Amino acid sequence: MDLYIDTANLDEIKAANDLGILDGVTTNPSLIAKEKIDYGKRLAQICEVVKGPVSAEVIATDFDGMMREGRERAKIAPNIVVKLPCTIDGLKACKAFSDEGVKTNLTLCFQVMQAWMVAKAGAFLVSPFIGRLDDVSEDGMDLIQKIRQVYDNYGFPTKVLAASVRHPNHMVQCALAGADVATVPFNVIQQLLKHPLTDAGLEKFIADYKKAFPG
């Protein structure tokens, strides 16, 4: 399973990249709004740091606007993936970009048929939002499992990118379900390597050693 970081914060992206196992980045308009910086400028900075896929979302909601903005974003760097919503216009733009050879990430996916349609339109990535489904008493992981099965049934190459990941157990379940990618906030990436028994065990190893070999 590939690991993307879900943020537009450059310090977090650099820190995650320094781990040596980061595969890509996802951004969205809310994440950019938090940074209070021009979207294009921040994308260029991110692409300097990370060479894997960097998802850049369009703000327009109509087909022509999505195509215009998507083309602008795609010019920023060769690793930009144009992020489009799972709507009628988003689907049409996905097909048009696929025909042009531009990679897309179809976001805000909440049901299996959205995933099936965007795969038919040639999406590179589909982003089911698991945390937001859990928030409304639905089962986000169930959606990942079903999309995985449909894609495998028909051999769709579209990658399943688990989005809206909230905690390490989501990551475990995503890996077991065969998600291709998980995009994760920085605080959750940090939690993935944490276990109190690791800390306690390490403390004891060092203390035992120092007791036996003082100085």
Residues that bind ligand E4P (CB under 6 A): 6, 26, 28, 107, 127, 129, 131-132, 163-164, 183
To the nearest 5 percent, what fractions of the chain are helix, strand and coil? 55, 20, 30
Nearer to ligand E4P, 127 or 173 (CB): 127
Q: Which of 14, 34, 75, 83 is catalytic?
A: 83
Shortest gap between Cβ of 162 and ligand E4P (angstroms)?
Answer: 8
What are the structure tokens assigned to 178, written together? 């065969």
CB-CB contact of 93 with 63 (8 Å): yes
Between 79 and 204, whose beta carbon lies closer to ligand E4P? 79
Please, what is the minimum distance in Å from the beta carbon of residue 9 to ligand E4P? 13
CB of 71 to ligand E4P, least distance (A): 21
The Cα–Cα gap between 74 and 96 comes to: 14
> From CA 7, how far away is CA 9, in angstroms rounded?
5
Which of these, 7, 1, 19, lies nearest to 190 by C-alpha position?
19
Provide the 10 A C-beta neighbour count for residue 61.
Answer: 12
CA dihedral for 52, 46, 174, 159, sign (positive or negative): negative
Looking at the Cβ atoms of 26 and 114, the one nearer to ligand E4P is 26
User: Is position 120 annotated as part of the catalytic site?
Assistant: no
The residue type found at 3 is L
Supply the minimum distance, in Å, between the C-beta of residue 102 and ligand E4P: 18
4 or 97: CB nearest ligand E4P = 4
**Active-site positions?**
83
